[in-house]
Structure formats: structure tokens, C-alpha cells
Amino acid sequence: MTTLKLSDTHPDYSDLLMQLQSYAQLKDAWDVLTASNTGQTLMEQIAAVGALNAFSADLSLREAFLQTAMRDSSIYAGASDLGVRIARKTPAGVNCLLIRQDVSNSLLLPSYTAFNINGKQFFNRNYISFEQGQQNPTETLFTSTVVSYTEKTAKISGLPSAILTVEEEYFLASTNGPVTTYYNVKYNFELNQFEITDESVFTSLENTSISILRKSVRLYEGTIKVDTFTSTGLSFQEYYLSEGSFTVSDIDVNVYTIDTATNAKVFWTLQRDGLWMAGEKATVFYDRTSGEGQAVIMFGNEFHGDIPVMGNEINVRFAVTSGQSGNVGLSKLPVLCMTNSDIKGTTLTTVSGGADERSAKFYKKIAPQIFKANNRAEFMLAAGAR
């Protein structure tokens, strides 16, 4: 009895069909081969399925390697497998002047309050506070302690200078108990210090809480959403956010868990460099991007980052942004607060700084170099190099 064995070196449609026809000629039940014959039709269908399977196998092999991959999703996935973090869109920002009419009480707008500017959704990253009797708010950028100061200059501990600009003026607020003193300052990037811009002088800054306040408010383009999951209690559990196409802001992802028994809320800190850098039981999470552009949240294994308690509610708050297309070359646009109709305002600058994700072509060329540099850095770290 002759057994049919199709060639795996010539798996295209015509070759498969010829092999099937040759085999059928050896069978008494298939002695007539015409284009209208049922047997011929079946052989054509089988040949088509075989060719499709062969194409799928070739395609899978091609897409499995970063060097030969052609699909964007495969290239992104390949770069991610090398340990390269794929950046998503970042939102455009704009400076605004806000004002309210009711000044009878102090008012605090939490982070990620919704605003509307010229018909588009915006949000704030930092607290916005209105003091009692004041129509205009300040935005708290940073809170720390003073390192050293003179009558006209002050250096602040742990200040991330990237949040500041040369042009803007700020308030330096010194709080000691119930008393807060405000100073008008600008930041000197060359000397890494704040400098008073009027006739006042710094006094008694030691042992006080120092806050840097922006006189205008910075808002960012995007819509705030929350995805909720239930912890499995497993090591390195991962959760894919509902929005894809790289639209989840690369900066604005926040995670907190809620204990279902006590309703206690725990905030988790982003570990940008990977969970292998996290300490034991550290309440941190890692944020990466899938090949399809979805944001993925990962937790640790107790030794490198903690595990959310099984059954606890995991909430991921994030901004969905349009990236570069959110930039608007106009100023003096109307601003509305979506949670408090008394708060209105206008933009002081153009809406700028929004950026899209990098192309797959970029990662195809650069990812191996980043992988090599990461390996070198990790080797130096293990060797105790400085």
C-alpha cells in the first residue's frame, strides 16, 4: 500500500497539487481527473490549505527574529525580549492661569483632576491649591528640606531640576508648624540654587518643610482612566491595560491596591529600571509595552518587589493621550475645570511637547546596541565599577 507523503521542500500550491494528483493516479478509486471532478476540487482545497500552512510556518520563522522581522509588532516584541523598554506616547503640556470667584475657603485640587481646553481633555500631575482669600492657585512641584542657604540663595535636597524652567518664577514656601512663609524665587541652573527676585531675604529655613510652588499651573493633554484587576497572589503577575496603540502615556501610570477586608489603600512606586533592581518586599511595579502597544503592569516575587495580596483589588490609573497630534500652536485658549465650575482660566503658552512612540525601524536598528550597553552596565555594576 502506497502512503502519501507530501514534500516539505516544495510546499507551494502547484507542487502540492501535482503531488496529490500523482498519488491519486495510483488509486483505483480516483481514475478520472477532470477540472469539474469532485476529487480534483478536494485536492485543490487540500493543496491550498497546505500552502497556507507552509506560508504561516515561514512567516512565523521570519517574525521570530529581530533581524528578519518585518511586522512592527514583531519588531517591538523582539526589542522588548532583549530587555529594551518600548516608550509610548507622551502628552503635550501647557501653562495656564486659573482663577476662581468664591474665595471664602481654601481649596485643593488633587492630581489628575480633569480639565477642558478648547474642547480637549487635559489633567494636572501635581496638587493645585487655592489659599483662603486667594483667587489664583499655586501648583506644588516638590517638597523637601533645605541643604544650605544664604540671605538670597537656597539649595534644596533631592531637587529634580528637570521639573523647572529658566523663564518661570516660583514660590519657595517654608513651613514651620502652622506658619508658612513665601519667597519669590527663580532657579539658577548653573549654580543649582534658588535665588530671591525681590528685596526679601531667607530667614530660619533650617528644620522646616520646603515646598516649591509654580505660580502658573501646568496641564497635560489626555483623558484619565482607571482599569481594575484582582490580584492572583502569584509571583511576577502581569496585567494588560485596556488601551492599545501606544496611547497610554509613557509617564502617567499610577498603581494602588485596596485591601478588600480593611479597605486600606497602598500606593505602588514605578520601578523604571526593572524589578531585578527592586528590594525585598518593596511596593513597586514595572511598566513595559507589548508588541501591540499595550501598557503592561508587572509586580515582583517578594525577593524583587512585593506581591499584591491575593484577592486584593489592583487599580491602575493612567492617561490616554494623542501624543504629537495634541500639540496646538495657539495660546490664550479657554480653560474649564470639569469638577468645579467656579474654576476657569486661560492658557499662557502654546500646547507643546507631545511626542509619539518611536518607530519599529528605530528599535530594529538600535535595540541590539541598547542590549549590548545594558549588558556592559550590568557587568560593571556587578564588578563594583564606578
- Closest CA relative to residue 154, chosen from 204, 213, 216: 204
The predicted structure's pLDDT at residue 52 = 67
pLDDT of residue 382 exceeding 60, the answer is: no
Bridge partner residues of 193 (DSSP): 188
Which residue would you say has higher pLDDT here, 47 or 243? Answer: 243
C-alpha cell at 116: 477642558
- The mean pLDDT value for 334-351 works out to 94
Q: Which of 114-118, 310-314, 367-371 has the lowest mean pLDDT?
A: 367-371
- Closest CA relative to residue 356, chosen from 222, 219, 247: 247
pLDDT band at 91 (very low <50, low <70, confident <90, very high): very high
- The mean pLDDT value for 106-122 works out to 94
In the chain, domain spans: 13-63, 93-114+124-219, 223-320
- pLDDT tens-place string over residues 220-271: 999 999 999 999 999 999 999 999 899 999 999 999 999 988 999 999 999 9
> Chain-centre distance of CA 244, in angstroms?
11
Q: Which of 37-51, 69-83, 137-151, 204-218 has the lowest mean pLDDT?
A: 37-51
The predicted structure's pLDDT at residue 204 = 85
What is the assigned CATH class of domain 223-320?
mainly beta
pLDDT band at 367 (very low <50, low <70, confident <90, very high): confident
The predicted structure's pLDDT at residue 383 = 41
- pLDDT tens-place string over residues 302-330: 999 999 999 999 999 999 999 999 999 88
- The mean pLDDT value for 123-141 works out to 91
- Closest CA relative to residue 301, chosen from 243, 365, 235: 235
Write down the mean pLDDT value for the chain: 85
The predicted structure's pLDDT at residue 257 = 96
C-alpha cell at 122: 487635559
- The mean pLDDT value for 28-34 works out to 57
Which residue would you say has higher pLDDT here, 52 or 292? Answer: 292
Residues 6+ apart with CB under 8 A from 67: 364
